[in-house]
Amino acid sequence: MSALALRGPVRLVVRQHRLVLWISGALALAGIALVIGAWWFTSAAADDFAGTGCSVRHTVTGCGIQVRHFLSIELHYARLLNDAGLVMTALPALIGLYVAGPLIGRELDDGTYRLSWTQSVSPARRPAAKLAVPGILLVLAAATALAFRVLRRYHA
């Protein structure tokens, strides 16, 4: 058995909620991929525009099309990153609202919280594990939202 193998209540939580965990992780990874793709594409567009010799501030004759194209790319990705940043900022709250609340509520309604008193782990460890696993996803989503904000300021 490896040192990274999950054991105890954490393993139970991961097995019980693996579908939600996979979906949440996939959303976070999609957000990270969007940030990287947008950064790469806008950097390539900026490099191409810099290679034309045109300037946005001092447009000369013959540079109008290149300037409009560059500005439209920048505007499109600024809007995309703004909207995606808002979604990624709200994602931790949505995960907490729809996962953590019902997770604890279902435990109390079903009476399975009494099971923790009969287990070999401490009674506080089971709810801590139930909240720690979604908490890791919340931290990942918050880090992605921060990356969106930083990238948006960088390209603003």
pLDDT per position as a tens digit, 76-106: 887 887 787 777 777 777 777 776 677 677 7
pLDDT higher than 80, residue 154: no
| Sign of the four-CA dihedral 39, 44, 49, 55 | positive
Q: Distance of CA 144 to CAs 24, 81, 131, 138, Å?
A: 12, 12, 20, 10
Question: Which ranges of the chain would DSSP assign to H, the alpha helix?
Answer: 8-16, 18-52, 64-95, 101-110, 115-118, 125-155
pLDDT at 112 over 80: no
The pTM score is: 0.59
Nearest alpha carbon to residue 11 among 120, 118, 122, 133? 133
Structural domain boundaries in the chain = 9-51+65-155
